[in-house]
A and B are shown apart, each in its own frame.
Chain A
Amino acid sequence: MTTTAADHLLRADGVTVRFGGLTALDDVGLQVAPGSVVGLIGPNGAGKTTLFNVLSGVLRPTAGTITWKGAPPPGRRPHHLARAGIARTFQGLNLFPMMTVLDNVVAGADRLAAGGAFSLISGLGRHHRDERELRARALAALEGFGIAEHAHRLPGTLPYGLQKQVALARACVGEPELLLLDEPASGLSGTQIDALAEQIRGFSRDMAVVLVEHHMDLVMRVCDRIVVLDFGRVISTGTPEEVQADPLVTRAYLGASDDAAPGHTNGAPR
């Protein structure tokens, strides 16, 4: 936290979320610099997904502020944040099942259309050019993610690994400045994870990335900074090396074993 607020793309301060009596997030802070990859880790139930939902506007925090490029975001609903340049993927992919792969990705590019409400409803004005451009972008994205040959299939007919690529293409095609990835490695094989690591490093040339991930190997490989959550609190922040060396993290999260072992050390003494 050596930089000032204005240098941050996204900044969350004192975020607290309570569900009735349960405190899911307690005074959590997070800074994301442009072009950086931030990993969000912690045992199951640590509040990672809750924080993600707050960052993407799905959940409104009980207390705390979110700052986007040094100012409050243009609105608190997910579509406001999406239009401002925050894209996200979902743990369950949430592709549009009845739309083709191409249409799925074109839908993700919608924020880049220049036409206003009139062209949207009438199909006049900029609409035609917008549609052509969105389609061209989507096709380029499909090409880039290696799924161009499946453009006209329904996502449900593709193998899971390819569906994940569709989800990534849909999130990236809108040229977001911040990409939130929710467990991008889950369900992938070793070689697929290697490819994913390459991809994520590639994304960070154009946008900042925040990822929630259980796969420690991937997190340590791609992240510039790591935030460790446990029981809704930030227990450690820093570079992968710093976090790995932090005894608090080792005790609370990594336990006795030397590799990732998520979800079984919640009862460890802190």
Chain B
Amino acid sequence: MSSPTGKSAERATGPGAHAAGSPDTPRGRSRRTLPSPLRHLLFAALGLAAVTGLLLVTGDLTALRLAAVGYTMLAVAGLQLLVGGSGQVSLGHGAFMMIGAYTMTLLVLHQPMLPIAANLLIIVAVSAVAGIAVGAATARLHGPYLAGATLILAVGLPGLTHRYHEFLGGSNGLNIRTAGAPPFLQGVFTDSEWKALVVWTTVVIGLAVLATISSGRLGRRMRSLRDDETAAAMAGVPVGKTKVVAFVIASAAGGLGGGLQAYVLGTATPSSFTLVLSLTLLAALVFGGIGSLWGALWAAVTVVYLQIWATDLARSLELGRNVENNLPVVFFGIVLILVLRFWPLGLHGALTRLGARLRPPTTR
């Protein structure tokens, strides 16, 4: 499920790149015989099977953590397409997660009869519309100016919950109760495991869509305008439109991630969607490796588990509440600096390099 840039860049810069062989090696051809949506859905099914297996052998607590990895990964993967794919840096991705989370809670509160799948589809639509609005407004902005504009979104949006206190619940946010496993599966899955399963089903489908886009023509268009806007335009890429489309896809993925978070945690509060979240998502993306969807997986695992380990550590050392709250951020900062110092291409870059080194050169 990795986009071709990361891999091919690695292959091209790695030792012995000239031995990469003719582009139509049997391996290359067999990979392309299946249409890419089908191929990615197959991958998605495999991934879901793996997660289900993991859920069956682990407990409730792990189920919730896996669910957290899932929705974080979806959000980061959307950001990956935007930043790594189209070269637009967004500091406001957390805002789209917030839109998704509040849409989910409002739907459950006001339309309790709707099934979860319908809720998720509505969330995609709502956050896509938000993405169109923001993307169209910022399509002409580059680099730091774009980052600044999206920053406003991350800072400003949580404030809305106070402005519309009655409707959005102020700083306490909104709390919901979501249904657990359906009756006929109650013996097989606990409620948490069921929720993790719902999350991961959505996540793998979302990732399959993102992988299909980033490995196809649209992804190539985005990468070309990321690399050189003028040359991309002269190759027939409608620059403004493509940028907005990238923004819309990213915000839909972010919104879906946020909606799933609200579904699992049963709550949406402004304090969980602050600027810190947006910055963490972006930093996690760099950490995991820009340019590949696999980077999003490492990023999500790191964000979720560093938080847990840091909290555990603070508790076991009986540190104060203040230390406990800030330790994950410190940890994350240290790990980020170390990873970028030694592997500038992030964790995924390091892994592919390792893989390339282990593989005998003749099979390449």
B8 at the interface (CB under 8 A from A): yes
| B233 on the A face (CB < 8 A) | yes
The answer, yes or no, to whether A231 is at the interface (CB within 8 Å) is no
Per the bound structure, the CA–CA distance linking A128 and B236 in Å amounts to: 20
A110 vs B239: C-alpha distance when bound (angstroms): 14
Whether B220 sits at the interface, judged by CB under 8 Å, is yes
Cβ-neighbour of A82 out of B12, B228, B236 (below 8 A): B236
Question: Which A residues from 101 to 136 make CB contacts under 8 A with B?
Answer: 102-103, 106-108, 110-111, 113, 115, 120-124, 127-128, 130-132, 134-135
**Chain A positions 14-70 with a Cβ under 8 Å from a chain B Cβ:** 56-58
Known: A98-B5, A174-B235. A154 touches B221 (CB 8 A): no
Q: Is B18's CB under 8 angstroms from A153's CB?
A: yes
Complex CA gap A151/B28 in Å reads: 13
- Does residue B133 face the partner (Cβ distance < 8 Å to A)? no
Which residue from chain B places its CB closest to the CB of A105 in the assembled complex? B235
- Taking the nearest CB of chain B, how far is it from the CB of A56, in angstroms? 6
In chain A, what residue has the closest Cβ to B13?
A154
* Contact yes or no, A99 B224, CB < 8 A: yes
CB of A189 closer than 8 Å to a CB of B: no
User: CB of A83 within 8 A of chain B?
Assistant: yes
| Contact, CB under 8 Å: A106 / B218 | no
CB of B216 within 8 Å of the partner chain:
yes
Q: How far is the CA of A122 from the CA of B217 in the complex (A)?
A: 10
A203 contacts the other chain (CB 8 A): no
- How far, in Å, is B89 (CB) from chain A's closest CB? 15
Q: Which residues of A are found within 8 Å of B36, using beta-carbon distances?
A: 123, 127-128, 131
User: Number of contacting residues on A, CB 8 A?
Assistant: 50
A263 adjacent to chain B (CB < 8 Å): no
State whether the Cβ of A100 lies closer than 8 Å to any Cβ in chain B.
yes
Q: Quote the shortest CB–CB distance from A208 to chain B (angstroms).
A: 16
Q: Is the CB of A79 closer than 8 A to any CB of chain B?
A: yes
* Segment 123-164 of B: residues with Cβ below 8 Å from A: none
Verify A154–B22 contact, CB threshold 8 A: no
Known: A90-B234, A107-B232. 8 other contacts (CB 8 A): A58-B233, A96-B231, A100-B8, A111-B235, A127-B36, A131-B216, A148-B22, A150-B18
Selected A-B contacts with CB under 8 Å, 23 pairs? A58-B233, A77-B238, A79-B233, A82-B236, A87-B235, A90-B230, A90-B234, A94-B228, A96-B231, A99-B220, A99-B227, A103-B220, A107-B221, A107-B235, A120-B216, A123-B216, A130-B217, A131-B32, A131-B36, A149-B22, A151-B20, A152-B20, A152-B23
Binding site for B on A (CB under 8 A): 56-58, 77-79, 82-83, 87-88, 90, 94-100, 102-103, 106-108, 110-111, 113, 115, 120-124, 127-128, 130-132, 134-135, 139, 148-154, 157, 170, 174
Q: Which residues of B contact A (CB under 8 A)?
A: 4-5, 8-9, 11-13, 17-18, 20, 22-24, 32, 35-37, 212-213, 216-218, 220-221, 223-224, 226-228, 230-239, 245, 291
